[in-house]
C-alpha cells in the first residue's frame, strides 16, 4: 500500500502526470491509472484521514464494490446536463456549482465529473462527443450512389448523395447531385445552409480533392472558390486530418443512417430526373429527423429547434454565386486575357500577376487581395472591355479626341481653321493618323491668339498649304500680319504655293525675277549668260 499512497501523493500534492508517477515508482501507467480510478470511486478525501490505516485503505480500495453513490447522495438528470453543455459558455464546472446550490451535501467536483463520464459512456459512440450549438456542421458524400433513368433514352446515370450533420442537434441534411465536382459541392453547401436557416461557425469537410488542393495538418491549402464561398457566409472551413475519419464521426454516422434509412428503402423506386430523386430524399430525410432518439428525449428536429436554431448565424442577404478563380498576367497594353476576351486593369499594374474571380455575369480582378477592377463578363470571343480610367493620362487625352470633335474645335476658332482641320484629316487613309497634326494645330493657340491662328489658317487655305507645318511657319515668320498685297498677291489654283516674303537685305525679292526673266530681246543663250552674271 505504500506505493499506492505514494502514487496518490505524487498525483495530488506534486501534480505529476501518470507517466511521471509510473516512471518514478517503477510501475506501469495502467497500474497508476487503476489506483487513481479506485481512489476516485472510493469517495475518500485527500489528504487521507489520520485515523485511516493501510488495512482499512486497502479494504476501501480493493475489497468489494463501493456503495452505489445514488443510494447515498442525489444525482442530477445527466441527459439534461448533456443538453445544457451544448450551449455556449456552459461547462461541467458551472453545472456542478448549480448542482451544489440545490444539493449542498452532494458530490464534489471530481466525483461529479466522474459520474457524468460513466453515464456518457453508456450512450452510443456517435453521441459521445459534445459540440456547442451552432459551432460545427460536418459534410461528406455517401459511398453508394442512386440510379436515375433517362425517360427518353432509357440510359441509367448514377447520382451522388451529399450528407451533412450538425454537431449539437445531429440534424441531418441529404440531397442528390450528379457529381462530386466543386460546383456540386458548393451548390449542396448553399442549399444545406438554407435548409438549416442559418450558418454554423465552422464547416468540417474531409480532404476531397475538389475542396482541398494540398492537404496539410497545420495549413491545408483550400481551393480558392471554396474559401470564397465561406467569406460572404461569415463561416470558416476546417478540413479534417488526412485519413482521420474520427474527426468527422458525426457525419460518418449520418452517412450510415442515410444509406440505411433513406437510400436502401428507395432502392426499388425508379427515378427519371434528379429533381424527382431529391423530392423522395427530402421526404425520407424529414422522417429520420423527426424520429425520437433511442436513449435521449426528443428528436433531431426538436433538439435543433430547442438549442441550435437560435445559435446559428444569419444567412447573407443574397445567395452565393459560384465563382471560378484564376491567375493572369497584365499585358503591356494593361489588359488581361480570360477565355479569349480582354479586360482592362489600371496601367500601373503592367507586368503584375493578378487574381481573377469569374462568375456567370462579372469579372473581378484582385491584386494582393484588393479588388482593382470589375467588368461585366463578355460572351463574345476576342471582345475587348476597357475602362477609360485605367488608361494613362496621355492615352486618355489622345482618345478623347474624335474627327467630329476636332473639326468642331477648329470651327470654333473660325471657318478657315475648321477647313485646315478637315483637310488634314482627309489627307490620311485613317482619320486617327491626322490626330497628331490636328492636336499640334490646337497647341498653337497657347502661343498665339485665336485671331492670328484664324488669319494664318486663312492664308494657308488660300495658298493650298493646309498643314500644321505651314500654319506654324506662317505664325513664326509673322506672315499672317502682312496683307496679301505685301506678299505679292494670291496665286491661282494652278500656281505653286506662295513662298515666304523676303525680309533680309541680301535676299532678292520676286520683282527681280519677273524683270530678269521677261525681256523679249534676249536669246536663250544670252538669258543664260545674264542669269549667270547676276548670280555672280
Mean pLDDT by 10 residues, the chain (536 residues): 78 80 79 83 81 76 56 79 77 87 88 86 58 88 92 89 92 94 92 94 89 79 87 89 72 89 90 93 94 86 91 91 88 88 92 90 90 90 86 69 82 91 83 76 86 90 88 88 60 43 57 53 42 41
pLDDT given at position 138: 93
Distance, in Å, from the CA atom of 47 to the CA atom of 21, rounded to the nearest integer, reads 18
Q: Using DSSP bridges, classify how beta strands 236-237 and 146-149 pair: parallel, antiparallel or unpaired.
A: unpaired
pLDDT given at position 371: 92
Per the listing, cell 493618323 goes with 433
The CATH class, in words, for 136-311 is alpha beta
**Domains of the chain by residue range:** 2-66, 70-122, 136-311, 324-391, 401-498, 502-536
Specify whether the CB–CB gap between 199 and 233 falls below 8 A.
yes
The half-sphere exposure of 229 on its side-chain side, counting CA atoms within 13 A, is: 24
pLDDT given at position 165: 93
What pTM does this model have?
A: 0.50
Q: How far is CA 406 from the centre of its chain?
A: 45
3-class SS of residue 529: helix
Name the phi and psi angles at 38, rounded to 5: -65, -40
DSSP string, 332-347: TTSEEEETTEEEE--G
pLDDT given at position 401: 65
pLDDT given at position 396: 62
pLDDT given at position 48: 82
As a whole number of Å, the end-to-end CA separation of the chain is 142
pLDDT given at position 510: 60
pLDDT given at position 176: 95
Amino acid at each position: 500500500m505504500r506505493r499506492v499512497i505514494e502514487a496518490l501523493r505524487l498525483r495530488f500534492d506534486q501534480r505529476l502526470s501518470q507517466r511521471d508517477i509510473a516512471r518514478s515508482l517503477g510501475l506501469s501507467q495502467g497500474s497508476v491509472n487503476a489506483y487513481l480510478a479506485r481512489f476516485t470511486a472510493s469517495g475518500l478525501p485527500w489528504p487521507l484521514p489520520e485515523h485511516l490505516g493501510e488495512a482499512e485503505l486497502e479494504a476501501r480500495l480493493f475489497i468489494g464494490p463501493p456503495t452505489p453513490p445514488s443510494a447515498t447522495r442525489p444525482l442530477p438528470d445527466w441527459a439534461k446536463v448533456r443538453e445544457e453543455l451544448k450551449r455556449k459558455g456552459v461547462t461541467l464546472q458551472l453545472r456542478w456549482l448549480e448542482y451544489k446550490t440545490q444539493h449542498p451535501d452532494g458530490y464534489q467536483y471530481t466525483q461529479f465529473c466522474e459520474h457524468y463520464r460513466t453515464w456518457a459512456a453508456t450512450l452510443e459512440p456517435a453521441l459521445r462527443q459534445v459540440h456547442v450549438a451552432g459551432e460545427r456542421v460536418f459534410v461528406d458524400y455517401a459511398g453508394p450512389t442512386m440510379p436515375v433513368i433517362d425517360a427518353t433514352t432509357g440510359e441509367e446515370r448514377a447520382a451522388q448523395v451529399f450528407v451533412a450533420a450538425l454537431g449539437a442537434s445531429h440534424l441531418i441534411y441529404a440531397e442528390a447531385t450528379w457529381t462530386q465536382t466543386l460546383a456540386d459541392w458548393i451548390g449542396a453547401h448553399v442549399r444545406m445552409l438554407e435548409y438549416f436557416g442559418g450558418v454554423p461557425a465552422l464547416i468540417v469537410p474531409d480532404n476531397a480533392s475538389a475542396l482541398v488542393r494540398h492537404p496539410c495538418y497545420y495549413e491545408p491549402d483550400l481551393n480558392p472558390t471554396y474559401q470564397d464561398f465561406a467569406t460572404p457566409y461569415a463561416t470558416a472551413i476546417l478540413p479534417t486530418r488526412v485519413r482521420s475519419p474520427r474527426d468527422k464521426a458525426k457525419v460518418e454516422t449520418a452517412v450510415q443512417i442515410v444509406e440505411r434509412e433513406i437510400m436502401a428503402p428507395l432502392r426499388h423506386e425508379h427515378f427519371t430526373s434528379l429533381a424527382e430523386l431529391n423530392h423522395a430524399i427530402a421526404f425520407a430525410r424529414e422522417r429520420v429527423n423527426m424520429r425520437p432518439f433511442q436513449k435521449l428525449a426528443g428528436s433531431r428536429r426538436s433538439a435543433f429547434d430547442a438549442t441550435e436554431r437560435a445559435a446559428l448565424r444569419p444567412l447573407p442577404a443574397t445567395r452565393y454565386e459560384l465563382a471560378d478563380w484564376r491567375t493572369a498576367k497584365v499585358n503591356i497594353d494593361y489588359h488581361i486575357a480570360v477565355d479569349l476576351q480582354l479586360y482592362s486593369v489600371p496601367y500601373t499594374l503592367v507586368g503584375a500577376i493578378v487574381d481573377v474571380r469569374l462568375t456567370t455575369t462579372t469579372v473581378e480582378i484582385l491584386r494582393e487581395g484588393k479588388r482593382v477592377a470589375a467588368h461585366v463578363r463578355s460572351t463574345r470571343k476576342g471582345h475587348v472591355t476597357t475602362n477609360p480610367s485605367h488608361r494613362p493620362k496621355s492615352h486618355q487625352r489622345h482618345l478623347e479626341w474624335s474627327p467630329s470633335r476636332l473639326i468642331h474645335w477648329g470651327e470654333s476658332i473660325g471657318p478657315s481653321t475648321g477647313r485646315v482641320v478637315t483637310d488634314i484629316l482627309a489627307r490620311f487613309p485613317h482619320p486617327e493618323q491626322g490626330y497628331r497634326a490636328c492636336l499640334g494645330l490646337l497647341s498653337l493657340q497657347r502661343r498665339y491668339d485665336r485671331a492670328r491662328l484664324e488669319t494664318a489658317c486663312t492664308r494657308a487655305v488660300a495658298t493650298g498649304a493646309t498643314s500644321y507645318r505651314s500654319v506654324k511657319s506662317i505664325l513664326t515668320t509673322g506672315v499672317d500680319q502682312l496683307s496679301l498685297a505685301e506678299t505679292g498677291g494670291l496665286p491661282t489654283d494652278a500656281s505653286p504655293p506662295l513662298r515666304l516674303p523676303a525680309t533680309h537685305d541680301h535676299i532678292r525679292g520676286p520683282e527681280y525675277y519677273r524683270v530678269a526673266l521677261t525681256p523679249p530681246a534676249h536669246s536663250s543663250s544670252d538669258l543664260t549668260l545674264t542669269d549667270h552674271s547676276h548670280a555672280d
